[in-house]
Amino acid sequence: MARSDTATAKVLDPADAQCEGNPAMGARLRVAEFFAGIGLVRRAVEQEGFRVVFANDIEPAKASLYSANFDAGHFVLGDVRRLRGRDMPEADLASASFPCTDLSLAGNRVGLAGKQSGMFWEFARVLDEMGTRRPSAVLLENVLGFATSRGGRDLRDAIARLNGLGYQCDMFVLDASIFIPQSRPRMFIVGSRSRLAQSNWTPSTLRPAWVGDFVRAHPELKMHAAALTLPKPSSETLAEYVERFSHSDSRWWEPPRLSAFLRSLSSLQSARVESRRRAPKLGWSTAYRRTRHGDAVWEVRPDTISGCLRTARGGSSKQAVVEAGRDVVRVRWMTPIEYARLQGAPDYKLDGIGDTAALFGFGDAVCVPVVRWIASSYLRPLLEGRFSVRASGTRSSIAVA
């Protein structure tokens, strides 16, 4: 739940960067949240009993959203390059959802050498400067393009850097659609200062074949794989998450714009929408604008989940909602409330926040139930020393005691 207090975020000043962090203050595991954005990592881990003792982001709009929903006394607004390890509080876990701009397939693909995604190295620098006070574990989150950036060299270099800081690493993929009706595959790396044994890299939903291939191609890296069991996939659909508007609501596109939308559809897409229009009940799907053969067209998802929510900086990144059935078709932009719901934060406070800022904040964030599952099934057992090594033939695997 959102906190009622709304302290204003600090502005970064090297002379005033010291934040609270007393390990004796309660038994809850402490988290330092880098690239905190609007605080959805915090929302997730606090639901599992963790306590955020530090947060940092450079975007003032995101800081405003954070401050409207959490006690922001630990939020430091400013460039991560100005942070120093000596000023960091004691923490058990450091999380970093660092920028994906240079790693994404939709970006420039310069990888960790880029101005945005290269902020990973600043995160690592701060950990390095903490010395023996480094957190016991780290959690990284980014797009799947991280795995293929510069032919896999960026991923290798990042894990090698974490290894050099004393972290043995695990790597897995989670799609938000397991928990909530949004297609949002993301890559996670958990680094642990505990020395856990190497595991079986048999392909699975969590660790596709490329993960094992990467590990075998880089035997010099210190890696392990925790034995994790995914929950049963959610059966919820977009219908439980969309806002309901009357047919006369001004948010529905006017006839000329709707006609242009329908004309842009391919024959396959048009048949899909027409089939839904003839349905006896209203149904909902999402659509993205794409460029095909040099032309801007709309494509409607064939299923009952949302496409991946993105940062709303440009029309092609904005997602539309298509309502069809009972012989009608209506289209509108997805709302900030729907973004919040589809990121697992339905009660997130949005009062006084412009739509563009809200869409950007949520599109650039983590999905709460995904990170909550990681916190519950992986991070807490890891940090509480409940992982044990269990022999299995000639191989070993990691299990939770």
Give the start-to-end residue ranges of the domains of the chain. Answer: 10-233+366-400, 244-334
CA distances (Å), 131 to each of 85, 120, 166, 377, 383, in order?
8, 18, 10, 28, 19
8 A C-beta contact, residue 198 and residue 223: yes
Q: Is the pLDDT of residue 99 over 50?
A: yes
Q: Is the pLDDT of residue 238 over 70?
A: yes
Q: Please report which confidence band the pLDDT of residue 20 belongs to, taking 50, 70 and 90 as the band edges.
A: very low
8 A C-beta contact, residue 186 and residue 144: yes
Residue 388 has what pLDDT? 57
Residue 40: Cβ within 10 Å count: 28
What does the pLDDT look like over 333-342, one tens digit per residue?
999 999 999 9
Minimum mean pLDDT range among 24-28, 271-275, 354-358? 24-28
CA 285 to chain centre: 22
Tokens representing 369? 């139930």
Residue 291 has what pLDDT? 81
Residue 109 has what pLDDT? 64
CA distances (Å), 35 to each of 58, 244, 274, in order?
8, 34, 43
Distance CA 312, CA 330 (A): 21
pLDDT, average across residues 29-46 = 97
Distance CA 35, CA 119 (A): 9
Residue 195 has what pLDDT? 76
Q: Is the pLDDT of residue 43 over 80?
A: yes
Residue 223 has what pLDDT? 94
Residue 112 has what pLDDT? 72
Residue 212 has what pLDDT? 95
pLDDT, average across residues 52-66 = 95
What does the pLDDT look like over 162-221, one tens digit per residue?
999 999 999 999 999 999 999 999 999 999 998 766 677 999 999 999 999 999 999 999
Which of the two residues, 260 and 401, has the higher pLDDT score?
Answer: 260
Q: Is the pLDDT of residue 396 over 60?
A: no
What does the pLDDT look like over 313-328, one tens digit per residue?
544 578 999 999 999 9
Backbone angles phi and psi of 371, in degrees to 5: -70, -35
Residue 113 has what pLDDT? 65
Residue 104 has what pLDDT? 65
Q: Is the pLDDT of residue 13 over 80?
A: no
Q: Please report which confidence band the pLDDT of residue 117 belongs to, taking 50, 70 and 90 as the band edges.
A: confident
How do strand 320-325 and strand 387-392 relate by DSSP bridges?
Answer: unpaired
- Per CATH, which fold does 10-233+366-400 belong to? Rossmann fold (3.40.50)
Dihedral sign computed on CA atoms, order 41, 44, 47, 49: negative
Name the one residue in this structure whose structure tokens are 């939020």: 75
Distance CA 110, CA 121 (A): 14
Query: Which of 317, 322, 230, 310 lies closest to 273, judged by CA?
Result: 322
Minimum mean pLDDT range among 30-44, 112-126, 162-176, 356-370? 112-126
Query: Which of 51, 55, 53 lies closest to 77, judged by CA?
Result: 55
Dihedral sign computed on CA atoms, order 68, 69, 72, 77: negative
Distance CA 122, CA 282 (A): 49
What does the pLDDT look like over 286-317, one tens digit per residue?
999 988 888 889 999 999 999 999 876 544 57
How do strand 328-333 and strand 295-300 relate by DSSP bridges?
Answer: unpaired
pTM of the predicted model as reported, rounded to 2 decimal places? 0.89
Q: Please report which confidence band the pLDDT of residue 41 belongs to, taking 50, 70 and 90 as the band edges.
A: very high
Which of the two residues, 201 and 138, has the higher pLDDT score?
Answer: 138
Q: What is the mean pLDDT of the chain?
A: 87
Residue 7 has what pLDDT? 41
| One-letter amino acid for residue 15 of the chain | A
Q: Please report which confidence band the pLDDT of residue 66 belongs to, taking 50, 70 and 90 as the band edges.
A: very high
Residue 333 β-bridge partners: 320
| One-letter amino acid for residue 162 of the chain | L
CA distances (Å), 235 to each of 4, 184, 186, 347, in order?
32, 16, 20, 21
Long-range residue pairs from 130-134, CB within 8 A, at least 24 positions apart, any chain: 130/85, 130/86, 130/88, 131/85, 133/85, 133/88, 133/90, 134/94, 134/165, 134/166, 134/193
